[in-house]
Amino acid sequence: MGDEHDEYDDHDGEPTEDALEDELADATRPPATLPIALTLPALVLTAAIALPLHPDGFSFAQLLYVAFLRSPLEGLIMLIGFGSPFCFGAIVLALAGLGDQVHPRLAERLLVANLSLLHAQLLLVGFMLWSRGQGMMPLALLGFAAVSGGYFILHHAREAAAAGGIDDTAQFVRSGPTLRWLVRWGATVIVAVCGWIRLQLLIGVRLGWAIEVMLAASVAMTVLLTRNRNTPS
């Protein structure tokens, strides 16, 4: 009877304000894991590493293999830098497939680290192309890299401050945005970069069809997370 009095008013049996707030929080609380439907586009994005990317038909996996033969350090830098979109796909594939078997804090750190490297590499490439006057609209790429990277940093800091470091949905200390936001953001950035790369066709730069596969997979991720934003995994 004591528990009942805690949640319901003594006179009319209606839920108290605290009980209503708890129910509202449960209804609006974002899922702590990624939807299993993400495994398919994440697998496609990861597998694109073996598809033709270089104008001469070489895949990124082949280029990466050659880099590792020259120097393991060079290969590692190439993988986490230029290969960050493929690493992003592999991380999302693992997180969506394993679900709550992966600790939320570890999942968050993996995505934040990967996206940080993605933004850093994008900023570096954009600056190099702009400074050398190479490519079509290099300033647009540089501007996008600067704005998106800056927003990522600010949003991460704002979410961490707003949450106070605590995430009641998974009972762990959260230091930034939710997993779904991170994946949706990463996929959106990859879509934008693939679109810019395809603009280079106007000046005769033709890369392999791995770009189209990466673009389609990233769009699918964004759509899935937008449609399932308020549904449980």
What tokens appear for 232 in the block? 């449980």
Report which of 199, 190, 203, 119 is spatially closest to residue 153, judged by C-alpha positions. 119
Please count the residues of the chain.
233
The predicted structure's pLDDT at residue 210: 92
The predicted structure's pLDDT at residue 14: 53
The predicted structure's pLDDT at residue 25: 40
Task: Indicate whether this model's pTM tops 0.75.
Answer: yes
Q: Say if CB 52 and CB 59 are below 8 A apart.
A: yes
The predicted structure's pLDDT at residue 20: 47
Interior angle at CA 82, CA 195 and CA 122, nearest 5: 55
Separation between Cα atoms, residue 70 and residue 50, nearest integer Å: 20
The predicted structure's pLDDT at residue 104: 85
- pLDDT tens for the chain, 233 residues: list them: 445 444 444 445 555 555 444 444 444 445 567 899 999 999 999 999 999 998 888 999 999 999 999 999 999 999 999 999 999 999 999 999 988 888 888 889 999 999 999 999 999 999 999 999 888 898 999 999 999 999 999 988 888 777 655 454 444 455 668 899 999 999 999 999 999 998 888 888 888 899 999 999 999 999 999 865 544 43
3-state DSSP call for residue 15? strand
Separation between Cα atoms, residue 179 and residue 70, nearest integer Å: 36
The predicted structure's pLDDT at residue 32: 65
Contacts of residue 147, Cβ cutoff 8 Å, sequence gap at least 6: none
The predicted structure's pLDDT at residue 157: 86
Question: Which alpha helices (DSSP H) does the chain contain, by range?
Answer: 2-7, 17-28, 39-47, 60-70, 72-80, 84-98, 104-132, 138-163, 179-199, 210-227
